[in-house]
Chains A and B, each alone.
Chain A
């Protein structure tokens, strides 16, 4: 069965500092997609970053970047120059091209300290 594991239920980071959120997944497939979603306290989920498994280059979106290690099945999110608005729940998600389903991790609550 495919699984997504976020081992850090909660993380804290000082404003302007860098933080890395961990995500590991388990699959026997080679064609899949990985995502990081942000869910602020207002509850509207927002896509942060997306990575296609066939691409070796790590995806980046402004202050957000990933470290995609396909062999290790690891997909961590790095947030640079953290801002108060980054405080939210962050979900790692896996999409299987075989089963055509999403699987989400349990989330990491990120607190940003002023």
Chain B
């Protein structure tokens, strides 16, 4: 069974631009969660999607948004990029519930200049 895939793996953007990251969960998994990992703030929960609905979200500004498609693939979007958005963005999938075993993707490294 293929693991969680994230594209692209690396991105360089300029302040003020927007970016879209993609995550394909393991086949059969319906829950997809997104996390931001930075050296300063550590690993922070962004949001979780289940059956195309956002089930919960962390404490991030509205510039961070996401969606999930009928095939459970998920995208997250960050608008009006700031330098502080530079981070490793991790996606994780689980079968149904966010507290089930989560399988993480390799992450997308976003650098904002």
| B-binding residues in A (CB < 8 A) | 33, 37, 42-47, 50, 91, 95, 97, 99-107
Q: Is the interface of B mostly helix, strand, loop or mixed?
A: strand
Interface size on B, residues (CB 8 A): 22
Inter-chain contact A101/B45, CB cutoff 8 Å: yes
Is B48 located at the chain interface by the 8 A CB criterion?
yes
Tell me which of B58, B103, B104, B106 contacts A101 (CB under 8 A): B58
Q: Report the separation of the CA atoms of residues A47 and B107 in the bound assembly, to the nearest whole angstrom.
A: 16
Residue ID in chain B nearest A99 by CB atoms? B56
Inter-chain contact A102/B45, CB cutoff 8 Å: yes
B53: min CB distance to chain A, Å: 13
Residue ID in chain B nearest A97 by CB atoms? B99
Inter-chain contact A102/B101, CB cutoff 8 Å: no
Give chain A residues whose Cβ lies under 8 Å from the Cβ of B44.
104
Give chain A residues whose Cβ lies under 8 Å from the Cβ of B43.
91, 104, 107
Tell me which of B48, B58, B101, B105 contacts A50 (CB under 8 A): B101
Contact string against A for B residues 46-61, beta-carbon threshold 8 Å, 1 for contact and 0 otherwise: 0010000001101000
A42: min CB distance to chain B, Å: 8
Tell me which of A33, A43, A47 contacts B88 (CB under 8 A): A43
B28: min CB distance to chain A, Å: 17
Give chain B residues whose Cβ lies under 8 Å from the Cβ of A107.
42-43
Inter-chain contact B104/A103, CB cutoff 8 Å: no
Give chain B residues whose Cβ lies under 8 Å from the Cβ of A91.
43
Inter-chain contact B98/A100, CB cutoff 8 Å: yes
A63: min CB distance to chain B, Å: 18
Inter-chain contact B104/A44, CB cutoff 8 Å: yes
Inter-chain contact B90/A100, CB cutoff 8 Å: no
Q: Report the separation of the CA atoms of residues A42 and B105 in the bound assembly, to the nearest whole angstrom.
A: 11
Is B102 located at the chain interface by the 8 A CB criterion?
yes
Contact string against A for B residues 67-108, beta-carbon threshold 8 Å, 1 for contact and 0 otherwise: 000000000000000000000101010000011011111110
Given A95-B99, A101-B56, A45–B90 Cβ distance below 8 Å? yes
Give chain A residues whose Cβ lies under 8 Å from the Cβ of B22.
none
